[in-house]
Amino acid sequence: MTTMVTTKPSRWKNYSTWANRHRKWLFAAPAMIFVGLLIAVPLGWTLYLSVTDSEGSVRAASNLVGFSNYFEVLTDTERFWPAVMRTFVFTGGALAIELILGMCIALLLWRPFRGEKWVRVAILLPLVATPVAVGMMWRLIFDPNIGFANQVLNWVGIPAQPWLSGQYTALPTLMFVDIWQWTPMVVLMLLAGLTSLSDEPDEAARIDGANSWQRFWFVTLPLLRATVIVTIVLRGIDALKTFDILYATKGKGGGSFHEVETLNIYAFGLSFDYNDYGIASTVLILFFLLIITIMWVLTYRRKANRS
């Protein structure tokens, strides 16, 4: 009896001591497990599907086919590789222009001026619009027959353009829409970085007689390096995954010539139009690896530079 009475509280005490010692893990555990499962389970399932010939219904019987899906996808020069190329053209092009434009606007907004608040709000407007609504809006503007864009061209005497409906103009047009919508976010991030910089290095350079371009290129930009890289990583991943405006304007398959079919659109078409779950999962896994690699390279380089 006496032993039981003494062990019970001590076991409880041991337990609570353990809990208290690890309380940061304990409190975070439910969220971590939840998030972990949310990522791990779908990823595992996709990995499994990518080595099967599952099609029609995921509940239907399917066979393990090893890596033949990967072979099929990686040798597909008709849909897969062009989609990879379009993904990179879209991301690279949009990101580069967004960065340059974003940097220019951020520098303009950096120093306080009259009416600054209003300008900032106006610049952020495209960012808060719903992407699908944005897609529909631009689709109307770029309509080849009744759209506003061709009317404007007409006023200045330039012949009408096919815009979104042209085989070669659709992707650049959508890059423009992406730039219109996401430059504000780049501005916001760069501006946050700029405001956190101290004035001294800039002043020192000014006293040394550096002109404004030199001060930007040799002082401000190197100091802003970390912010720029974070911006590239975040916006780059986001742009790689772009789906909504592409789908809202061109639909499944990215147009009759697959002219805006990026990896995301391709994978969506494979699973929801063709019901070819094996191949779709393979494309998604490859896409996932691609993003991981790019992210790893960017962050690794950043760490290497720092040390």
Partner 1 sequence: MKRHSVVRVAAIVAATFFAAGTLTACSAGDDGGSKTLRVTLANHVWTDTIKSKLPEFEAATGLTVELSQYGEDQLSDQYNVKLNAGTDEIDVMMYRPLQEGKLFAKNGYLGDLSDDVESNAVWDWSDFQSGPVESTTYDGNVVGVPIITEQEVLYYRKDLLANAGLEVPTTMDELEAAAKAISEQNPGVAGFVARTGKSAAVTQFSSFLYSFGGDFIDENGDSAVNSSEAKEAYAFYGGLIRDYGPENVSTDMSWPEAMAIFTQGQAGLYTEADSLYKNATDPATSKVSDTVGFAPMPAGPGGSVAYNVPSWALGINAESANSAEAWSFIEWATSAELTLVVQQDGVPGARQSVWEDPAGTSTYPADLAAAIATSTKNGVGHDRPLVIKVPEAREIVGDPIVIAITGGDSDAAADAASDAFQDILDEE
The residues binding partner 1 (CB under 8 A) are 16-17, 19-20, 23, 26-27, 30, 56-60, 144-146, 150, 160-162, 164-167, 250-253, 255-257, 271-275
Q: How many other C-beta atoms are found inside a 10 Å radius of the C-beta of residue 74?
A: 13
Minimum distance, C-beta of residue 192 to partner 1, in the bound complex (Å): 34
Q: How many other C-beta atoms are found inside a 10 Å radius of the C-beta of residue 270?
A: 23
Minimum distance, C-beta of residue 279 to partner 1, in the bound complex (Å): 11
Minimum distance, C-beta of residue 23 to partner 1, in the bound complex (Å): 6
Minimum distance, C-beta of residue 173 to partner 1, in the bound complex (Å): 12
Q: Please, which residue, 139 or 215, has the CB nearer to partner 1?
A: 139
Minimum distance, C-beta of residue 29 to partner 1, in the bound complex (Å): 10
Q: Please, which residue, 17 or 299, has the CB nearer to partner 1?
A: 17
- Which residues does 56 contact at the CB level (< 8 Å), separation at least 6? 275
Q: Please, which residue, 54 or 220, has the CB nearer to partner 1?
A: 54
3-state secondary structure of 64: strand
Sign of the dihedral defined by the CA atoms of residues 19, 20, 25, 30, in that order: positive
Residue with tokens 């009408």: 160
Contact 252, 269 (CB under 8 A): yes
Produce one character per residue of 132-169: b if its CB has 16 or more CB atoms within 10 Å, e if not: eebbeebbebbeeeebebbeeeeeeeeeebebbbbeeb
Minimum distance, C-beta of residue 162 to partner 1, in the bound complex (Å): 5
Q: Please, which residue, 8 or 23, has the CB nearer to partner 1?
A: 23
Q: Please, which residue, 60 or 234, has the CB nearer to partner 1?
A: 60
Q: Please, which residue, 82 or 184, has the CB nearer to partner 1?
A: 82
Q: Identity (one letter) of the amino acid at 193?
A: G
